Amino acid sequence: MEKQNSKYRWAVFATVLFTYFLIVSQRTAPGLITDQLMKDFGLTASTIGLLTSIQFLAYASLQIPIGLLSDRYGPNFFLIFGTILNGIGTVLYSVAPNEFFLLFSRLLVGLGDATIWVNLVLILSLWFKGNEFVGLIGIAGMAGSFGFLLATVPFSLWISLWGWRGPFLSIGVILLVLGSLLYFILVKKPKQLFSSQEQKGTLSREEQVKERTFSLLLRILSSRQAWATFLCHFGVVGTYVGFIGSWAVPYGMNVYDMTRSNASQLIMIGLIGAIIGAPITSWIAGRLGSIKKPYTVIHLVSFLGWTAILLFGGKPPFYMLIILFFIIGYCNGANTLTFAVVRQSFDRKEVGLASGFANTGGFLSAVLLPSIFGKILDHFHAAPIHVGYFFAFMIPVIFSILGLAGGLLIKEQHQEAKGMG
């Protein structure tokens, strides 16, 4: 396919990657201004919690529908629309006069964010060959980790200098501009360069519509490979994102008597691991010519990491804790191999739905783990604090066992299988 041999595909890659980087930064950036929001708007802790949950619930609930729609009608429109929706939501957030606007704006951000990763996977699968895709999906994962990193010290310093509204407004405007740029990069310019290929793609999509949605969904839900990727993502993403995003800082403060600032550095250690985990593990997979082998090892290491914390009664030596946070972060970074498996295992007309199904697994566990973890801590509230954490750490251990099962279930296939070349 001419697209996959053109130099133009790198312009596509760079633009889509930068868009993903900025959008990921806005998933957690509002956490930097929790105290200011409570002060400025008189919000309760439960309302703050709702601001976070409404965004991620919108994200998780739309993964399968977005996958279906993107397979049917192509990924370009949904990536562009999602970027613009994210930009509008971020702008509204920056000018919100009351809590209703805050909630509505975060809902828009969640809806926009829901379209991004699935369509990024689809776009890369269309523009790059299978052997390139494995490495590039790792770089995409690294870009996401840098996005999370942006939403820590750099964004915090920007807020300190400008106040919180200015930075969010700026990012929102940049995303709106990126939406226009994506239209030029993904739609307008390719029509000039690859008109015949675009027409073939249109005919292909018309043929895809002939298959009923129910039968397509049923085929994915009955696929061993789809459930393997679901479990992989469930085991490695939810354990990291769910814990880091909710209990990591309280854990450091309560169990190790750390300050809030020092405890937050545990998150930075995990992020550093995630940043290098994506490209290195993808490179290893490419060198080995196997995704299953390194990914199964990653899930085994993740399981052993959580188990080590558990075996030390929820309080390993501090030097070991730092190493374990780095390792667990590294394993999360390697989760992009989930989508390398999807890319090589499913036809183009199924990649969006299969990606959405796998991504649902990750964010389902990210929603479940903080809640179950918290309920266990509440149950043992009268006991010494480390006792509650000991039993709570059984949850990421159990979740990571499911991830390991997913890795073992993966059926290795050749890079160019299923017409994905």
* 220-244 pLDDT tens trace: 888 999 999 999 999 998 788 878 7
Q: What are phi and psi of 382, to 5 degrees?
A: -80, -15
Q: Are residues 360 and 381 in the same domain?
A: yes
Inform me whether the pLDDT recorded for 209 exceeds 60.
no
Residues 6+ apart with CB under 8 A from 209: 72
Q: What is the average per-residue pLDDT within 92-105?
A: 93
pLDDT for residue 371:
78
Residue-number span of the structural domain to which 324 is assigned: 216-421
Q: Are residues 178 and 235 in the same domain?
A: no
Q: Are residues 332 and 367 in the same domain?
A: yes
Residues 6+ apart with CB under 8 A from 394: 310, 376
Nearest to 245 by CA among 339, 108, 362: 362
pLDDT for residue 381:
80
pLDDT for residue 245:
66
Band of pLDDT at residue 416, cut at 50, 70 and 90: very low
Residues 6+ apart with CB under 8 A from 126: 3, 75, 348
> Among 210, 243, 270, which residue terminates a domain?
210
Q: Are residues 177 and 268 in the same domain?
A: no
Q: Are residues 204 and 221 in the same domain?
A: no
Q: Are residues 184 and 311 in the same domain?
A: no
Q: Are residues 204 and 224 in the same domain?
A: no
Q: What's the distance, CA 215 to chain centroid?
A: 27
Q: Are residues 221 and 203 in the same domain?
A: no
pLDDT for residue 156:
83
pLDDT for residue 210:
47
pLDDT for residue 196:
52
pLDDT in tens, 128-180: 987 788 889 889 988 988 998 888 778 888 998 999 999 999 999 999 999 99
Q: What is the largest CA-CA distance in the chain?
A: 70
Q: Are residues 77 and 223 in the same domain?
A: no
> Among 175, 210, 245, which residue terminates a domain?
210
pLDDT for residue 9:
92
pLDDT for residue 208:
47
> Among 180, 210, 240, which residue terminates a domain?
210
Inform me whether the pLDDT recorded for 68 exceeds 60.
yes
Q: Are residues 203 and 221 in the same domain?
A: no
Q: Are residues 23 and 96 in the same domain?
A: yes
At 87, which CATH number? 1.20.1250.20
Cα separation, 190 vs 186, whole angstroms: 6
Cα separation, 385 vs 47, whole angstroms: 27
pLDDT for residue 195:
63
Q: Are residues 186 and 260 in the same domain?
A: no
Residue with tokens 């009268």: 382
pLDDT for residue 418:
44
Structural domains in the chain (count): 2
Q: What's the distance, CA 21 to chain centroid?
A: 11
Cα separation, 345 vs 309, whole angstroms: 35
Inform me whether the pLDDT recorded for 46 exceeds 60.
yes
Give the least confident one: 177-186, 378-387, 402-411: 378-387
| Mean pLDDT over the full length of the chain | 86
Cα separation, 98 vs 140, whole angstroms: 36
> How many residues can be counted in the chain?
421
